[in-house]
Structure 1
Amino acid sequence: MERPYILHMFTPGPQMSPFDVNMAADAGYQILTPYCHVTLEGITGLTQDAIFSRGPKGAARTGLFVGGRDVMLADEMMDHVRKAMVPPFIVSVCADPSGAYTTAAAMVACTEAALRHGSKEGLADAQVLLLGGTGPVGRIAAVLCAREGARVSLGSRKGADAQQAARQTGERFGVALQGAPTGTAEELRAALAKADVVMGVAAAGVQVASEADLAVARRLRVAVDINAVPPAGIAGLGAMDDRKPLAGTSAVGIGALAVGNVKYQVQHRLLSRMREAERPVAYGFAEAFATAREVVAEKSR
């Protein structure tokens, strides 16, 4: 009898995301076990319980998933998980807190492709503004953009929050980020006037840029919005838009469902590849971004 594929799913929160459970089941895992209120101190013991109980051969059919909502904590948990493994008892692990890794990867890959459409510049030296950027998706998208050579600002209506998030995220992931206060119309429009790329990454149903705000964004080339709940996070940008000209600007727009389609495929591929891998793998946001680039390139063929 073959051993079943088991995925142990860790979250520091009160429950595991049903979205992630569904995705793991569709990727072929047969037994899904969530562990809630997991701490940094406790994750080492949980990991070692998972790896030592099945032997080296069983390890190939055992996976770990790190969820939650805090991308900084998830990265620390990944470090603890990997340090807890003892060869040859090593299993595959994937992190995607609040879907932020795969969503950010999809958004940045879509943006990069739109920038390169008709040119070869991509994100290098682009000025990127993330509105509502102190949340999980905004922080990881900022890191990915910065790693590609962009100059990145995390926008927040509370200037102190923007500065703190930029500093903490930059220090954790080794990139230079800026904070941009956007609490007043003057502050928001000053930030928009400098932007080549604007990403709306605020909470659902929150508009971060109106038509009047966008009128000052004369350098804007790409606008992306991950909010599918009305009103649109970026005015005039439809959820299904995919490189569609954004009225009143010189930019193209990419909507939430266009990003979401790529995000879904990225998460499915990562979980499927983890289950199918002959040797242990570890997937974080860098691997999610590489996979998102694959998906976007396939769409363009």
Structure 2
Amino acid sequence: MKKILIQLDTDALPSSFDRVVAIDAGVDEILSYGNVTPENVVSLVHGAIFTRKPDDLSQTALFIGGSHVESCQRLHQKILETFLGPMRVSLMMDPNGSNTTAAAAVRCAARHLDLKQSEVLILGGTGPVGRGCAEILATLGANVRVASRSLERAQSVCAEVRHSAPESKLSPAEFSDEGIAAAVDGVNLIIAAGAAGVRFLTAEELEGIDTLKVAIDVNAVPPTGLEGIDPSAEATDLNGVTCYGALTVGALKMKTHRSAIQTLFTSNDQDLDSKGIYALSGDVS
């Protein structure tokens, strides 16, 4: 029986990137839909769960993508509500590749730190990848500072993450010229997850953080988010700090993405969000 992946994208044009990765992961057929919303997804879900016998539902899966995280999360919730007991299929949510990228970044950090004992600063923390990192790290018990140039946006993301992880240790941080010193004070791990071409910290500023042990930059477009970290850096020592660059994180992200797609077809009850994707990323790192 063929493995069928139904791609549900909240954008008008379903992502070609996600289609290619699915094919490389061994999917036989991909059915792609754009402009999918909670209001029009029910019939698509019914088409997935009522066309095959219960024992064969593991060979159909759903993939939620799109550029807007909140829209994908609302779609994810509606799909879960539409399933009928055992009449369901596995599901993966990866808006703009943010969850797989976040899982890869955190997995790199976990090679060197006890995250439960770590003070973490996420730069660009209100963007898709930053938010995914915050969700994963919060469930792992880290003390997480979600940084943004807008304190209000940082506060909003912290509140949303706490909704799904009530015990999380999150705090918002305003990352401005005046607030840099407070934001970086005492941190062991920095993840730069901002937009392409945005520099957060200079090499001198990084070197001045005495407590910093690991720095990860997911941006490969010049200028990099953290000056001095080459995109190809892989556990590279930079003035006593272990560094990972965007290309190294990206390579692990791709392995994780393919592995997650393959995992969907091992049963019909997988639900892979940021935390579920991180859990399986350990098998490919």
TM-based fold match above 0.5: yes
Per the normalisation by structure 1, the TM-score is 0.88
Determine the structure 2 residue equivalent to 1:259: 249
Determine the structure 2 residue equivalent to 1:26: 24
Selected match of 2:181 from 160, 169, 189: 189
Matched, 1:70 2:68: yes
Please, which moves more after superposition, 20-29 or 159-168?
159-168
Question: How much is the aligned-residue C-alpha RMSD, in angstroms?
Answer: 1.8
Distance 1:146 1:273 in 2: 24
Please, which moves more after superposition, 49-58 or 25-34?
49-58
Determine the structure 2 residue equivalent to 1:225: 217
1:225-262 CA distances to partner (integer Å, 9 max, x unpaired)?
A: 00011111101001111111123xx3111111111111
Deviation of the 1:88 alpha carbon: 4.2
SS, match of residue 61 in structure 2? strand
User: Could you tell me which amino acid in structure 1 is paired with residue 83 of structure 2?
Assistant: M
Selected match of 1:198 from 187, 190, 198: 190
Please, which moves more after superposition, 77-86 or 251-260?
77-86
User: Could you tell me which amino acid in structure 1 is paired with residue 99 of structure 2?
Assistant: Y
Contact persistence 2:138–2:165 (CA under 8 A): no
Distance 1:77 1:173 in 2: 19
Deviation of the 1:282 alpha carbon: 2.3
Deviation of the 1:21 alpha carbon: 0.5
Determine the structure 2 residue equivalent to 1:36: 34
1:43-67 CA distances to partner (integer Å, 9 max, x unpaired)?
A: 2222012211334355232111111
Determine the structure 2 residue equivalent to 1:134: 126
Matched, 1:293 2:282: yes
Distance 1:95 1:72 in 2: 11
Distance 2:86 2:123 in 1: 45
Determine the structure 2 residue equivalent to 1:177: 170
Deviation of the 1:263 alpha carbon: 0.8
The answer for unaligned runs of 5 or more in structure 2 is none
Q: Percent of aligned positions with the same letter in both sequences?
A: 32
Alpha carbons of 1:26 and 1:214: their partners in 2 closer, same or farther (altered >3 Å)?
A: same
SS, match of residue 144 in structure 1? helix
Selected match of 2:79 from 81, 91, 96: 81
Determine the structure 1 residue equivalent to 2:141: 149
Contact persistence 2:90–2:267 (CA under 8 A): no
Per the normalisation by structure 2, the TM-score is 0.93
Task: Give the length in aligned residue pairs.
Answer: 284
SS, match of residue 60 in structure 1? helix
Matched, 1:103 2:93: no
Distance 1:81 1:272 in 2: 20
Determine the structure 2 residue equivalent to 1:207: 199
SS, match of residue 177 in structure 1? strand
Distance 2:9 2:269 in 1: 21
SS, match of residue 7 in structure 2? strand
The answer for unaligned runs of 5 or more in structure 1 is 116-121, 297-301
User: Could you tell me which amino acid in structure 2 is paired with residue 79 of structure 1?
Assistant: Q
Distance 1:105 1:281 in 2: 17
Distance 2:86 2:233 in 1: 48
Structure with a larger share of its residues in helix: 1
Distance 1:170 1:101 in 2: 17
